[in-house]
Amino acid sequence: MTHPFELNQEIELSATPEQVWDAIATGPGVDSWFMGRTELGTAEGGPANLTMLGQTEQATITAYEPGARLATRSEQAPDGQFMAFEYLIEGRAGGTTVLRIVQSGMLGDDWETEFEAMQAGWPIYRETLKQYLAHFTGRTPSVTTAFRPGAGGPDAVWKTVTRELGVTPDVAEGDDVRLPDGSAGVVYYANLPVNLGVRTDEGLYRFIHSGTARGDALVLGHQNFAGRDEQPAWDTWMAEHFG
């Protein structure tokens, strides 16, 4: 049985409305702070597709007002489930912009768990958007997405991840870390046992523990803005530590 839901968010960004529009209404812009690869058209009725881990979720643009409003809606599943997004942009004095995000639609039988997961997952993406606009705006990343089911419970996963970053599981925002390739970074978001975000001079790196009824998994969502393809290296790292 399906259940309707709505999730409202608001974030103030140190960027112009034009920069925010490019970040939420173009494929390369969304790729710079979200997961996977996004295909976005430039008019109502165009595509708004997300491809991740070999699977593509198809959606359509339902409203397209450059610099002000973007809305999308996924295809409806046979049981009635669908997902819709609306992004509203408002410029403020002093060169800042307020972005409102409304996520709505119909969820399935386990809708409460799904809704709680969305609420828990969004904060790191909001902060990653802030980091992108503050440090890498206008640059196109090389994207790494990796998923390891059966990685283990949160205590074991974070013990390994933090050890590999040269910190302890009580890591906090602002702490210095070092990625496995030797790159120096700083923690820009820490909410263990759920997720951790790191910024280096070249990119943004996210480590996410997903614990569901189907088991535990570690998800990586990285963007390298120097043009380096890091997918093979992180695939190897995942296999070595969570194989």
Q: Does residue 114 share a domain with residue 179?
A: no
**Is 131 contained in some domain?**
no
Structural domain of 169: 142-242
| Token pair for 148 | 């390891």
**10 and 114 housed in the same domain:** yes
Query: Does residue 32 sit within a domain?
Result: yes
- Give the per-residue pLDDT at 205: 98
Q: What is the pLDDT of residue 93?
A: 87
221 & 153 share domain = yes
Q: Is residue 38 located within the same domain as residue 99? A: yes
Give the total number of structural domains in the chain: 2
How far is the CA of 198 from the CAs of 68, 90, 127, 225, in angstroms?
30, 28, 11, 14
134 is a domain residue: no
Q: Are residues 8 and 102 in the same domain?
A: yes
- The tokens describing 7, both together, are 């999730």
Cis peptide before 47 (omega within 30 of 0): no
Distance CA(193)–CA(26), nearest Å, equals 32
Quick check: pTM over 0.75? yes
The percent of residues above 70 in pLDDT, for the chain, comes to 98
Let me know if residue 178 belongs to a domain: yes
The answer to whether 220 and 231 are in contact (CB under 8 A) is no
Contact by Cβ (8 Å): 128, 191: no
Q: Give me the helices (H) in 1-143, please.
A: 17-25, 27-31, 111-135
Identify the domain boundary among 69, 90, 120: 120
Say whether both 114 and 159 belong to one domain: no
Mean of per-residue pLDDT scores for the chain: 94
CATH number, domain with residue 223? 3.30.530.20
What does the pLDDT look like over 70-97, one tens digit per residue? 999 999 999 999 999 999 999 998 889 9
* Residue 225: inside a domain: yes
Asked if the structure places residue 167 within a domain, the reply is yes
Residue-level pLDDT at 121: 83
